[in-house]
């Protein structure tokens, strides 16, 4: 072996150093995901669910490398998947593939319901604890039986941020396949992100500005994800195709018509809009003019239906938000007076609501959400509450979650893919220290499960949990910055953030270099030169003392004694002499010809200037006599 090594080194010395150079090894996925791992300041979610889903296919290879061969040390994996329906036998799942026990400072636990599942443990067995950990668990939690599970599986162990906006991100939409993300902001722009085309730089591939000077308030994909709806602060909603090209905008109504049912469109700024969950040609919009309208995308010039909410007093009260139910048979609207009104779309239906809750909230309603089973309605408001309503009994809410500050009119409420969790975002208060949070609540027990910190300085506005990706998206921002945070778990999430984070930016090659040609004009005459700007000429002239000198005032009257002025005399003494008759100006009354000829004798007797030079060659001048006397 030593001889072969010597022979190789001897041969290698005959070639240049760059010959046979090995390419740089790709960065392992473990190192990539460690750079995006979150530092958990808030406790992760505790255990309640009894389903154990399968691991993501794209993360199995990474998980095998991520497992620590030392049995005493276990990797931290606080997130679990809840949207998968693939159930496995607990005994067939290896212990390392299941969730490990997080540290005591990162976990909030509550006791499982003793009347629930007869004490049968579902899921992978808990790895053995060290003696120190078991002692600390027994001392800290005497009521629990020591069996901790984390089957909510909220994917929040890792995080990436889609940046680009300069103000708060107020609108969010993810298509059904999970490949494209739309984000709208108060900076009047919409950014489009594509997970398949992005690399680790996380740059958007297109930026739109639907209406100049109008905030983006809502975005919604069509059921087929080939188009999306954009709602701004203007009175006209726009439709774009999947690549961001404008397909059309809806008509604006006549603001001088008092009855809103007679207008062809909205007359004030829009507040919310949502595409029909089933019909690809129908959308719903709400406006500050106090109406909801159903539109047909094939006809941009008129709406299909106008809905006027029921009001206690006549007038115009804005509709702050709107929502379809799961199958598109019901419409819910949040009214500016705090009421919640629901309409059943059926033959012959009108503007009279089927369900009317007068005092739903004390302030503006910012978000409404139906459950897929049609039993629960969630409402979010700027009064700092989240209410859970039973659609079968709407007199009073099932539960009211308080202490949820909300400063934005687009803050929504969402459900997990399996609808076991309810979650919403919170805003940052001036004197608060918690920052922007995502608060998760159990739908059945109606109690707080976990609070996940998103940003210490920015408010959380929109949130969404994508079922196919198993990733949580939350938009944040303030008056100076904005972004979209994507929470994922490498062992549980699919595609989405995993695809773009692991893709390194393409290195520039020699083919990317473009040498800009320099054109040399052989006839570089002043005629072909660019004229300097007039602004520079004016600035240069102002610096010149001669050109910048103020010109003298124009002559506005006769003068005397070489002095010109607007009065009869430039000096006081001249004025007084003229008034007294001591100075007489006779030149205006004299004949010019006589005034010149009176110097003829003097010029002939004593020539000084012109006459001596021409006296030898010039004839004697003869002046004609005046004929004025003869003519008389």
Q: Are residues 120 and 154 in the same domain?
A: yes
The answer to the question of residue 45 being in a domain is yes
Q: Which of 35-49, 301-315, 386-400 has the highest mean pLDDT?
A: 386-400
For the chain, give the percent of residues with pLDDT over 90. 40
The answer to the question of residue 175 being in a domain is no
Structure tokens at 520: 């040399």
Convert 347-387 into a string of H (helix), E (strand) and C (coil). CCCCCCCCEEECCCCCCCEEEEEECCCCCEEEEEECCCCEE
Q: What is the pTM for the complete model shown?
A: 0.64
- For 629, the 3-state DSSP assignment is helix
Q: Are residues 398 and 414 in the same domain?
A: no
Q: Are residues 535 and 477 in the same domain?
A: no
Per-residue model confidence as pLDDT tens digits over 426-451:
999 888 788 899 999 999 999 999 99
Q: What pLDDT, on the 0 to 100 scale, is given for residue 131?
A: 40
Q: Are residues 378 and 275 in the same domain?
A: yes
Task: Give the mean model confidence (pLDDT) for residues 200-216.
Answer: 92
Last residue of a domain, one of 506, 532, 564: 506
Last residue of a domain, one of 402, 433, 448: 402
Q: Degrees (nearest 5) of the Cα angle 542, 545, 551? A: 90
Q: What pLDDT, on the 0 to 100 scale, is given for residue 564?
A: 47
Q: What pLDDT, on the 0 to 100 scale, is given for residue 9?
A: 60
Q: Are residues 393 and 283 in the same domain?
A: yes
Q: What pLDDT, on the 0 to 100 scale, is given for residue 287?
A: 94
The answer to the question of residue 619 being in a domain is no
- 379 — pLDDT class (breaks 50, 70, 90): very high
Closest C-alpha to 501, from 180, 202, 191, 181: 202
Q: Are residues 396 and 368 in the same domain?
A: yes
Per-residue model confidence as pLDDT tens digits over 558-606:
554 445 444 554 566 766 676 766 666 666 677 888 888 888 888 778 8
Q: Degrees (nearest 5) of the Cα angle 337, 276, 326? A: 80
The answer to the question of residue 229 being in a domain is no
Q: Are residues 397 and 414 in the same domain?
A: no
The answer to the question of residue 20 being in a domain is no
Task: Give the mean model confidence (pLDDT) for residues 350-354.
Answer: 84
Task: List all residues 6 or more positions away from 569 whose beta carbon is below 8 Å from its beta carbon.
Answer: 560, 575, 577, 578
Whether the per-residue pLDDT at 142 is higher than 70: the answer is: no
Burial of 473 (0-12, 13-18, 19+ CB in 10 A): buried
The answer to the question of residue 514 being in a domain is no
Query: Worst-scoring range by mean pLDDT, 30-39, 114-123, 416-425?
Result: 114-123
**DSSP codes of every residue in 486-545:** EEE-TTT--STHHHHHTSPPPPP-GGG---PPPPP-TT--GGGSPPPPHHHHHHHHHH-T
Q: What pLDDT, on the 0 to 100 scale, is given for residue 40?
A: 55
Q: Are residues 276 and 385 in the same domain?
A: yes
Q: What pLDDT, on the 0 to 100 scale, is given for residue 296?
A: 93
Q: Are residues 352 and 443 in the same domain?
A: no
Tokens 């995502």 locate to 438
Task: Give the mean model confidence (pLDDT) for residues 526-552.
Answer: 78
Residue 311 sits in a domain whose CATH number is 2.130.10.10
The answer to the question of residue 303 being in a domain is yes
The answer to the question of residue 337 being in a domain is yes
- Number of domains observed in the structure of the chain: 3
Residue 584, domain extent: 523-611
Is the distance from CB of 178 to CB of 496 less than 8 angstroms?
A: yes
Q: Are residues 417 and 346 in the same domain?
A: no
Who wins on pLDDT, 508 or 482?
482
Per-residue model confidence as pLDDT tens digits over 218-257:
999 999 999 999 999 999 999 999 999 999 999 999 888 8
Is the distance from CB of 321 to CB of 271 less than 8 angstroms?
A: yes
- 99 — pLDDT class (breaks 50, 70, 90): very low
E strands of 382-503, at which residues? 386-390, 399-401, 413-415, 421-425, 436-442, 447-455, 459-466, 471-477, 482-488
Average confidence score pLDDT of the chain: 77
Q: Are residues 276 and 390 in the same domain?
A: yes
Q: Are residues 422 and 543 in the same domain?
A: no
Q: Rounded to the nearest 10 degrees, how much is the dihedral formed by the CA atoms of 261, 262, 267, 269? A: 20
Last residue of a domain, one of 368, 402, 436: 402
């Amino acid at each position: 072996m030593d001889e072969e090594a010597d022979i190789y080194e001897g041969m290698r010395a005959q070639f240049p150093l760059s010959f046979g150079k090995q390419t740089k090894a790709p960065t392992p996925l473990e190192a990539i995901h460690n750079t995006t791992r979150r530092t958990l300041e808030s406790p992760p979610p505790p255990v309640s669910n009894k389903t154990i889903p399968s691991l993501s296919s794209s993360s199995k290879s990474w998980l095998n490398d991520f497992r620590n061969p030392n049995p005493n040390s276990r990797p931290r994996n606080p997130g679990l998947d809840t949207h998968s329906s693939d159930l496995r036998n607990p005994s067939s799942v290896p212990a390392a593939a299941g969730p490990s026990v997080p540290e005591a400072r990162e976990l909030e636990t509550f006791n499982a319901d003793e009347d629930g599942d007869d004490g049968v443990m579902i899921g992978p067995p808990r790895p053995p604890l060290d003696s120190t950990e078991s002692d600390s668990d027994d001392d800290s939690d005497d009521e629990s039986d020591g069996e901790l599970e984390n089957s909510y599986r909220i994917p929040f162990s890792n995080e990436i941020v889609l940046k680009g906006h300069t103000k708060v991100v107020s609108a969010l939409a993810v298509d059904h396949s999970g490949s494209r993300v739309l984000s709208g902001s108060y900076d009047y722009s919409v950014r489009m992100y594509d997970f398949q085309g992005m690399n680790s730089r996380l740059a958007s591939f297109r930026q739109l500005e639907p209406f100049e000077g109008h905030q983006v308030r809502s975005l919604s994909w069509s059921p087929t994800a080939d188009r999306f709806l954009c709602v701004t602060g203007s009175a006209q909603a726009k439709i774009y195709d999947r690549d961001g090209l404008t397909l059309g905008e809806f008509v604006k109504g006549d603001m001088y018509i008092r009855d809103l049912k007679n207008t062809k469109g909205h007359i004030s700024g829009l507040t919310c809009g949502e595409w029909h969950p089933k019909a690809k040609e129908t959308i719903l919009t709400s406006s500050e003019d106090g109406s909801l309208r159903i539109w047909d995308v094939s006809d941009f010039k008129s709406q299909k239906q106008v809905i006027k909410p029921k009001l206690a007093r006549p007038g115009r009260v804005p509709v702050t938000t709107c929502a379809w139910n799961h199958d598109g048979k019901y419409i819910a609207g949040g009214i500016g007076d705090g009421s919640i009104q629901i309409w059943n779309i059926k033959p012959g239906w009108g503007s009279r609501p089927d369900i009317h809750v007068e005092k739903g909230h004390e302030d503006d309603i910012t978000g409404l959400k139906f459950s897929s089973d049609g039993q629960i309605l969630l409402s979010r408001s700027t009064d700092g509450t989240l209410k859970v309503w039973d659609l079968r009994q709407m007199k009073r809410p099932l539960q009211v979650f308080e202490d949820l500050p909300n400063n934005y009119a687009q803050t929504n409420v969402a459900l997990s893919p399996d609808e076991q969790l309810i979650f919403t975002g919170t805003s940052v208060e001036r004197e608060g220290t918690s920052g922007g949070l995502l608060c998760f609540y159990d739908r059945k027990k109606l109690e707080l499960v976990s609070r996940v910190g998103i940003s210490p300085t920015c408010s959380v506005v929109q949130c969404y949990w994508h079922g196919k990706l198993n990733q949580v998206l939350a938009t944040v921002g303030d008056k100076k910055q904005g972004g979209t945070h994507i929470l994922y778990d490498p062992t549980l999430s699919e595609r989405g953030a995993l695809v773009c984070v692991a893709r390194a930016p393409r290195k520039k090659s020699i083919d990317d270099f473009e040498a800009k040609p320099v054109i040399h004009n052989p006839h570089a005459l002043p005629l072909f030169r660019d004229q300097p700007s007039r602004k520079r000429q004016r600035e240069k002239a102002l610096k010149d003392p001669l050109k910048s000198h103020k010109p003298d005032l124009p002559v506005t009257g006769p003068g005397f004694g070489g002095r010109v002025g607007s009065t009869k005399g430039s000096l006081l003494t001249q004025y007084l002499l003229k008034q007294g008759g001591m100075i007489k100006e006779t030149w205006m009354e004299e004949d010019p010809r006589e005034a010149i000829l009176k110097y003829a004798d003097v010029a002939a007797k004593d020539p000084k200037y012109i006459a001596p030079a021409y006296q030898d060659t010039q004839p004697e001048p003869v002046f004609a006599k005046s004929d004025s006397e003869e003519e008389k």
